Structure 1
Amino acid sequence: MNILKFNSEAKLNEAAARIITSTVQVNPSAVLGLATGGTPIGIYKELVKDYNEGLVSFSRVTTFNLDEYVGLSPDHHQSYSHYMKENLFNHVDIVAERTNIPFGLADQLEEECRQYDERIEAAGRIDIQLLGLGHNGHIGFNEPEDELSSSTHVVNLAEETKQANARFFTETEEVPSQAITMGVGTILKAKMLMLVVKGADKAEIVKRALTGPVTTQCPASLLQTHPNLVVLVDEAAGSLLP
């Protein structure tokens, strides 16, 4: 585990983007695992900047997103498909057919999950999997449970997670209660895991995830078992780390 601490969000975003950019520079056909939410937005802005400056091309890159809400169409303004287009895909030269996001409106959700894992296997191992961290220790939408699914699956979102996501929806909209998410086993197959965490409100769960016992009650703690885990935190999020 390699923990990098930064005294500004800008420096953290730049460092995370440089890791991704350098990976694609070395391997133009890299497979990237992408995340959504507030944490990666600054990183994606840096990647767009690198592309505009001619430092990197995404034309041969393949991407797989961690998750998608069940019940939202890809063009819904709060879908993760829409998020990725707005924050990254529409601003670089990535080929749409090489981008993969679970389909939340699939008639057979279990079949969609199975096929998603098959597409990941066919693409080869994910080179870098970008991850955020939920307040309850979830990664992707793998919520604390007695048992965790290793493969892509449908999950019922914890009330805490729904409340955290409610700020993105208007009062007239109902926050989705289910999502399709990569399983922890799928995540751990990536060659490199890059966990990015920002803010003092995440300090306690960062400490628990990285220094506490490995337990399914804190899904992120399983990242400790990965041989190539890079953690990027700002000073606030990393304030309780030894």
Structure 2
Amino acid sequence: MATTHASEVGQSKPFGSSDDLWFHRRHFAGVTTVQIMVPMLVCFLAWRIYLGDWQITDVYVAFALIAFQPFTEWLIHVGILHWKPRKIAGVPIDLHAAKKHRGHHLDPNDVPQIFIPLFDLATLIIGVGVALIVLLPRPELMVTGAVVGTALALTYEWTHYLIHTAYRPKSQWYRAIWRSHRLHHYRNEHYWFGVTNNIGDRVLGTNPDKTDVPASDTARTLGVDTPAT
């Protein structure tokens, strides 16, 4: 039987309505990862209110997480999601998140592949939780970090989902990130890594003018031509 390679896989049509935002909100609310993160956010927020003892350091933690978020998004996209299979000390290494992301590039409009996979969401929650415990000196600050981090993750999921649907931009801000992310998928995968904003791309030099960048032959496969599954 002939092998179907990544570059031969078809693409789905954009999902849903081009102008009905409530349609997309309803669909988004039914996604498993969203149904996990929304209760998490509510619980973390209630916990933080219960703990009290608000200090200026809570503002510092929230500000730091929000300010660094564009670069966190950029680093995860470049270093993890675009990881290529390789051998380290003779051992083949691939990342679950990278495998799933390659599937997303093959068919960007396939809705289930837009969202963070459950395994990777669990890994992210554990990793961020450990980092908050290690880096922050007070339980109150840890929970503040959890509130802001969960809110940022939900913002990422919503923005990424909406970009890949049939919904068309209405605001200038959304139009800019919609255009940039589509260039990442359909023009050249080596640029435009931001999803919720393009600050990281602007600072780190991956936000060129479209006309300055050649169309890439590997925007769909990310240079990894594995059999489609």
Indicate the TM-score class for this superposition, using the shorter chain for normalisation: under 0.3
Bigger-Rg structure (1/2): 2
Q: TM-score, normalised by structure 2?
A: 0.27
Q: Which has the higher helix share?
A: 2
Higher relative contact order (CA 8 A, sep 6+): 2
**Structure with more of its chain in strand, by fraction:** 1
